[in-house]
Structure 1
Amino acid sequence: RICAETPDNQFLPATGRLDVYRKPACTSFERGAVRVDDGVREGDAISPFYDSMVAKLIVHGRTRAEALARLDAALAQTRIVGLSTNVQFLRHVVASPSFAQANLDTALIPREAGVLFHQDKVGLNLAVAAAVAQTLLAERASEGKDPFSRRDGWRPHGLTVRRFDFEYQGEALQASLTYLHDGALQLALGEASGLLAFDALPAENGTLMDLRFMGQRQTVQTWQREEVVHVFCDLGATTIIEIDALAHAGEAAHDVGRLTAPMPGKVVSFSVKAGDVVKKGQPLAVMEAMKMEHTIAAPADGTVAELLYAPGDQVAEGAELLKIATAG
């Protein structure tokens, strides 16, 4: 079952639009080595009012090993952008010792938790290289005959060094790209540095490239939505935020005391009122979405300043539910 959910966050259901929905070569609603049964198309929305399932993926093989390999390859070719899904989690399940050896029971997930959750098979270096390469390919595509349309860093003497700002898995970082005189590109990320090379490949949508960096060579496909770059390859999938510094000029460094709805849904109840002193982790509110109730907890010690909704109200994803004044 391919579902709109976030396994690394206790399988919290996800909602949103299927901006990109690409399936492996498959049959639908009939027997086949790889079969996908679904009722959605690219551009459809997954709402909070129905089940979170996007599709069923079914594979057949002559042996369990062949079926597992076929299943992993089909999951690797399933590419969804617009909302969180369990596709990568399913790849981790398929590769886990318990599932591979058919040691199946209801304790499989907690038993294999170490290899199922918070896994990043793509890695920081490849994610940064893919984001930089995508940017450069987009710039090349916009070049015209006017030499001033070029952004390749050419200058008659010296080297051009270009800075990129990213956020990856909650951590801010910087990368620098040096345009060498022989046309090569040197990408540095902290103490890691290497030549970056890439070639564009034909693609109906997104950016498809043959990417080489730091001893890795991967066929990578990317899609960018605002500042978020979605990276897919045989190793797995990840996201990285390419920060536009000018777009964020003047913004506050952080936003303190806001508690927002993790998805569209209905406010069921509040367990606090304005003026209450709360501790980090204390339950504050309950929301209902996709047939499930979700508890909103305090991120830090503080005092409830204001409740912004009432029980029974429908709220949008990201809506601020209440304000907390913190000691900091």
Structure 2
Amino acid sequence: MFKKILIANRGEIACRVIKTAKLLGIRTVAVYSDADADARHVKLADEAYRLGPAAPKESYLKGELILDIARRSGAQAIHPGYGFLSENEDFAAACEAAGVVFIGPPASAIAAMGSKSAAKALMEKASVPLVPGYHGDDQSDDLLQREANRIGYPVLIKASAGGGGKGMKIVERAEDFAGQLASAKREALASFSDDKVLIEKYLTKPRHIEIQVFADTQGHAVYLFERDCSVQRRHQKVLEEAPAPGMTEARRREMGEAAVAAAKAIGYVGAGTVEFIFDTLTGAFYFMEMNTRLQVEHPVTEMITGQDLVEWQLRVASKQRLPLLQDELAIRGHAFEARIYAEDPANDFLPAIGHLAHLKTPQETALVRVDSGVVSGDSISPYYDPMIAKLIVWGENREAALARLRTALADYEIVGLTTNLAFLQQLAAHPAFAAAELDTGFIARHRDALIPPPPEPDAEWLALAALAELARIEREREACRSRSNDAESPWHATTGWRLNQDSRNALHFRHGDKEYAVMAYFRRGHYQLDIGDRQIIASGDLSVDGRLYADLDGRRLSVSVVRRPDCLTLVREGTSIALEPFNPLLAGLQAEAETGGLTAPMPGTVVAVLAQVGDTVEIGSPLLILEAMKMEHTIAAPAAGKVEAVYYQPGEQVSAGTVLASVV
């Protein structure tokens, strides 16, 4: 076994590898960009080395520098995690040439599966069923259009060299093909430096089922059963489970043996995942691709098998035999993994950036696990994937695991940026999901139920906010009193007593474009809160850690209170409400001027300008395409009108909130 390894990655996967390495007594070396200088994985490792600026191509993609750090640090092996260099055949070959073990498959296996087109050709020879499509080398636009017409719409354009939904487009009509092809090629080139694509028939109601495989250097290969990854947005997984609901033993064996055959066909070693598309209408399954690395969703397989897949990787890379063979593996129970992202589900799941002002995770146990690379106070930057954490739960069966998932999601608290927590709660609670009515169109089909309007503060929320504000006011008064030269002076009393009038405090809050007033009357031992036409008898105690323990009309409850400049956020049972306390006497009356502009939703690079000054456009007409976090985002006209100005050209970088164009 290795004595020291380098982890050529960041975030939760780097922390995950470090955890297993420590259990095995292996020292770890972390690498970091300037943006990650204070990151959790850097602090957990035994030592860490700077790579360079934040941009991946100047840091985490610098294979030669990473190898040099491995040599200088004395690391015997490199674990690539997933993403970055994990499926880079040149880096794997460079490790071998340098005498450093690459904890992954040989470069030849990565090469064989690195091109989706080549992989499908290989699988076709091995008699693995394939979706009808075109995987050829001729990439002329005219030929690709003809092939799409031959296959029949809808078709799926996919980047041949990539994954993760990047460079992937669904085309419903022949007249849309050229535009979607151009977009797919731009994304593929930006993400993988290769704009080659393949075209496949798009199955209208498929499930995404993948098989975890493992192989060693002694010729043994096994499958550790399947994961259902059908619940996706933007062609990217958001909730996975194992085993797949409704899977028969015969079909499981058939798919598992096909996956092992695919691995053996390319001389595979280590952890890999063979992904299949499963036609829910016919029951047929087709090879989609093979990921030659550890998958993001590997924890659900660990939960149902009781195996540590990172430990397996380390043992296999050090030339040991697989810990278990096929007849020694078994499924126990059911597991879910929910990916918690900084993103806005209501805005097409657009990635978000920002500061984690408050982060509280569920209590971890043998049944509840949180894999994360961030802690409270960290930031989600525009340079990397916006994942905050992975929440993994286990239960004796699917029903028990789903109940545990719902509880754990309700216990998760994040304040400071937009997340998909509320969306995940709605998803886990949806009757169709509970009934396992799964396919890749699940989110689109149930979008209205899964992404409801944000909650409005009712009288109970406003009462809690008032108690939090009153506690703050009381603490400020007590602080002033404690600093007084005459602490016993009646002028420093904080009892709320008033001469010849009722003691009260008027509190005002904003939520969106609405304003709310709470009149708080001081009573002995409690408050009387008048909120609209409702009266609530309330009391509360705010702990030093920001937890408010309240009594509202005899009902006891607690809520987390997070204060930021001009914002008070309350979090309770998975729901959060952000309110802005304000003084109406001091509030400014100047309204923000209307600019008529279109702004960048996040930092990025303009990759295409689709409208020129003077063009007449309709509402929703695409004006520019912004590339951010390796995904393209179309900036569309908010209303019909004429393009008055376009302020940026392709290749120019913009900040969040930058006005890109104006329509009048």
8 Å contact kept, 1:159–1:181? no
Matched, 1:317 2:656: yes
1:63 to 390, 397, 417: 397
User: Aligned residue for 1:166?
Assistant: 509
- Cα 1:114–1:13 change in 2 (3 A) is same
> Are 2:540 and 2:550, in contact at CA under 8 Å, matched by a contact in 1?
yes
Structure with greater strand share of residues: 1
Deviation at 1:101, TM superposition (A): 2.5
**CA shift for structure 1 position 187:** 3.1
Identity %: 39
Q: 2:604 touches 2:654 (CA, 8 Å); kept in 1?
A: yes
The runs of 5 or more residues in structure 1 that have no matched partner are none
Alignment match of 2:539 (pick from 159, 177, 198): 198
2:300 corresponds to which residue? none
| 1:220/1:231 contact within 8 Å kept | yes
Alignment CA distance shift 1:242-1:180 (3 Å): closer
Residue 95 of structure 1, CA deviation: 0.9
1:202 CA displacement: 3.1
The partner residue of 2:573 within 234, 258, 262 is 234
Matched, 1:219 2:558: yes
Distance 1:273 1:212, change over 3 A: farther
User: How big is the shift at 1:212?
Assistant: 4.1
- What is the Cα deviation at residue 70 of structure 1? 1.9
CA contact (8 A) 1:162 1:177 kept: yes
The answer to whether the Cα contact below 8 Å between 1:194 and 1:214 also exists between their aligned partners in 2 is no
- Highest relative contact order (Cα 8 Å, sep 6+), 1 or 2? 1
**Residue type of the alignment partner of 2:420:** N
CA 1:199 to 1:213, structure 2 compared with 1: closer, same or farther past 3 Å?
closer
Change (3 A) 1:185 1:257: farther
Which of the numbers 160, 179, 186 marks the counterpart of 2:521? 179
SS in 2 for 1:137: helix
Tell me, yes or no, if structure 1 residue 48 matches structure 2 residue 382. Answer: yes
Residues 150/265 of structure 1: CA separation in 2 closer, same or farther (3 Å cut): farther
Q: How many residues align?
A: 317
* TM-score (norm: length of structure 2): 0.44
Alignment RMSD: 2.9
> CA separation of 1:178/1:239 partners in 2, compared to 1, >3 Å: closer, same or farther?
closer
Structure 2's unaligned 5+ residue stretches are 1-338, 482-486
Closer/same/farther in 2, CA of residues 224 and 269 from structure 1, 3 Å limit: farther
Q: What letter is aligned with 1:233? A: R
Cα 1:209–1:272 change in 2 (3 A) is same
Structure 1 equivalent of residue 368 of structure 2: 34
The separation in 2 between residues aligned to 1:211 and 1:172, in whole angstroms, is 25
In the TM superposition, 1:285-324 aligns within 5 A as 285-324=624-663
Show CA shifts across 1:33-79 (max 9, x none): 11111122223221222222121111112233332222122212221
Equivalent position of 2:355 in the other structure: 17
What secondary structure does 2:407 align onto? helix
Higher helix share: 2
Cα distance per residue 1:276-320 (max 9 Å; x no partner): 444433322221111211122233344444333332222222222
Q: Check the 8 A contact 1:284/1:297 in 2, yes or no.
A: yes
Mean Cα deviation higher: 124-133 or 301-310 = 301-310
What CA distance in whole angstroms lies between the structure 1 residues aligned with 2:364 and 2:443?
A: 28
User: Deviation at 1:138?
Assistant: 1.0
Residue 226 and residue 279 in structure 1: after superposition, are their counterparts in 2 closer, same or farther (change >3 A)? Answer: farther
When residues 242 and 271 of structure 1 are mapped into structure 2, their CA distance, relative to the original with a 3 A threshold, is farther
Question: How far apart are the structure 1 equivalents of 2:495 and 2:650?
Answer: 56
Matched, 1:249 2:588: yes
* Contact 2:539–2:551 (8 Å) recurs in 1: yes
* Equivalent in the alignment of 1:156: 499
Does the 8 Å CA contact 2:466/2:518 hold for their aligned counterparts? Answer: no
Structure 1: distance between partners of 2:438 and 2:614 = 50
Q: State the 1:151 CA deviation.
A: 7.1
**Are the counterparts in 2 of residues 15 and 264 from structure 1 also a CA contact under 8 Å?**
no
Residue in 2 aligned with 1:8?
Answer: 346
AA in 2 matched with 1:71: L
Cα-to-partner distance string for 1:115-167 (whole Å, 9 max, x where unaligned): 31125568433332232222111111112336556777542223355444433
1:153–1:285 distance in 2 versus 1, CA, 3 Å? farther
Aligned residue in 1 for 2:604: 265
In structure 2, C-alpha distance between the alignment counterparts of 1:137 and 1:2, rounded to whole Å:
32
1:11, distance to aligned residue in structure 2 (A)? 0.8
**Would you say the 8 A contact 2:529–2:538 is kept in 1?**
no
Could you tell me how far apart the structure 1 residues matched to 2:494 and 2:442 are? 52
Could you say if the C-alpha distance between residues 70 and 179 of structure 1 is closer, same or farther in structure 2, counting changes exceeding 3 Å?
same
- How many angstroms apart in 2 are the aligned matches of 1:185 and 1:47? 43
1:152 & 1:302 partners in 2: Cα distance? 60
CA distance in 1, matches of 2:430, 2:493: 48
- Classify 1:25/1:181 alpha carbon distance in 2 versus 1 (closer, same or farther; 3 Å): closer
Q: Which residue of 1 aligns with 2:417?
A: 83
